[in-house]
Amino acid sequence: MGRKKVEIKRIEDKSSRQVTFSKRRKGLLKKAKELSILCDADVAVVVFSNRGRLYDFSSTNSLTEIVQQYHSHVEAEKESSAEVLDTEHSKYSSFMTVGELLQTVERQLEEPAVDDLSVTDLVHLEDQLQTALMQARSSKTHLMIESIKSLREKEKLLSEENKHLENQIATTKNEREVTNGTMALDFTNLAPASMNCRQQKATLNFL
Amino acid sequence: MGRKKVEIKRIEDKSSRQVTFSKRRKGLLKKAKELSILCDADVAVVVFSNRGRLYDFSSTNSLTEIVQQYHSHVEAEKESSAEVLDTEHSKYSSFMTVGELLQTVERQLEEPAVDDLSVTDLVHLEDQLQTALMQARSSKTHLMIESIKSLREKEKLLSEENKHLENQIATTKNEREVTNGTMALDFTNLAPASMNCRQQKATLNFL
DNA sequence: GAATCTATATATAAACG
DNA sequence: TCGTTTATATATAGATT
């Protein structure tokens, strides 16, 4: 879409690669934005130049949220194809708990006759440890994500209840004004405090 | 870029929004791919339809890698503004970003003459990767913990405010009873709902 | 190198089957 | 709801400043 048709392959000339990068990057981010607006979709784009500079777009506040969604999604897919996990699972420990594995390792490392351990044994050990580590890490992350989700839920519930209470107060206030035209209490300064609370931005940039 | 110029705002007609989503999503992913090839850049795109279906593109194998890159980058920026970590930082990369490191590794692995890489080189490479991994992992965990902390704070604030509002309501109720002996509203069923909220157990067992 | 200017390739909105 | 077609809007390659 220019004076000439270009083949889609790495542009060798450094200078024009840089120019094209700048132009197309801008275009890509623009289109991402348009898609998110037109179709009410969550869109995130991350671009790293080959010299490591970062450019990104995200339709929600943080890229993180979308990545979280992505991970949840992937998790869900994993679960739906549960049979796959079974085989994988049995691989890393032939019914050996992580605790047992650790003990085995400790025992082996305490052994003075280190020479007795063949390289093959060590490779195997490394594999086992690696897999155990992955498991631990994955559960940790899973738990953290779950707890963040749950905290968000809670926050939402509390916010809603809060709003509800405020409405009740407003209603009461009105009723009082209607019934006896006097005002014993002034609630007008309550609203701002709660707004601050509800409007706090979620600044989660992890994962 | 069609028969008519379209305003960039949410398409209200569900059906044509779906059609546009499909077309533009395809276009976006195509452009992302082209950019990554033409300009030798790492590009990732994630799109969630408003009904939660996932579409993505990633120039490297996994989206996760790019996200990690993203976070390392964000971390690096943070660190550059705080001198504290300077020494540690310069250790693992002599002014090399994680992105650059990954590319270096990829290039080296693509090299047909693998024999040229001495074991020492590989050990060094492994060290570098290991350190980079630690960095990424540590920032991830750190950020997650921070966000959980912040969510808990928020929860506390909301709960307190909630209690406060309830008190206000109780006071008002009392005043009304005192002033004119009648009760227009019944607030007694408000408390239980909020108690459920506040009493939810925090079930975070990780770390 | 960055901004601007065309000519042209592409993407896509609406129509159609 | 799909794919295909077509007219048009946009993106952008190459040139120029």
Nearest by Cα to B43 from B53, B33, B30: B33
CB-neighbour burial class of residue B93 (10 A; exposed 0-12, middle 13-18, buried 19+) = middle
The model's pLDDT over B99-156, given as tens digits with 9 standing for 90+, comes to 555 555 555 555 444 444 455 555 555 565 566 566 666 666 667 777 777 788 888 8
**By mean pLDDT, which of A32-36, A73-77, B168-172 is the weakest?**
A73-77
**pLDDT classification of A104: cutoffs 50, 70, 90:** low
Which nucleotides of strand C come closer than 7 angstroms to any CB of the protein?
A: 1-2, 6-15
In degrees, to the nearest 5, what angle opens at C-alpha B58 toward C-alphas A134 and A41? 105
Determine the pLDDT at residue A134.
Answer: 63
The model's pLDDT over B59-87, given as tens digits with 9 standing for 90+, comes to 876 776 676 667 666 655 555 544 333 33
Contact B206 A154 (CB under 8 A): no
**B155–A contact, CB cutoff 8 A:** yes
Angstrom distance (rounded) from CA A166 to CA B164: 11
Q: What phi, psi does B167 have (nearest 5°)?
A: -60, -45
Judge whether residue A23 has pLDDT over 90. Answer: yes
CB B169 within 8 A of CB A172: yes
Residue of B153, B206, B207 to mutate when probing chain A, most A C-beta within 10 A: B206
Judge whether residue B166 has pLDDT over 90. Answer: no
Determine the pLDDT at residue A29.
Answer: 94
Contact A206 B71 (CB under 8 A): yes
| Residues facing strand C, Cβ within 7 A | A 1-6, 15, 18, 22, 31; B 1-4, 6, 16, 19-20, 23-24, 26-28, 30-31, 34
Judge whether residue A196 has pLDDT over 70. Answer: no
> A18 CA to C1 C1', in Å?
10
Q: Is B181 left (phi over 0), alpha (psi -120 to 50) or beta?
A: left
The answer to whether the pTM exceeds 0.75 is no
Q: Coil, helix or strand for B42?
A: strand
Angstrom distance (rounded) from CA A42 to CA A56: 14
Determine the pLDDT at residue B157.
Answer: 85
Angstrom distance (rounded) from CA B158 to CA B175: 25
> A23 CA to C4 C1', in Å?
13
Determine the pLDDT at residue A132.
Answer: 57
Contact A180 B180 (CB under 8 A): yes
Token pair recorded at residue B102: 């990954």
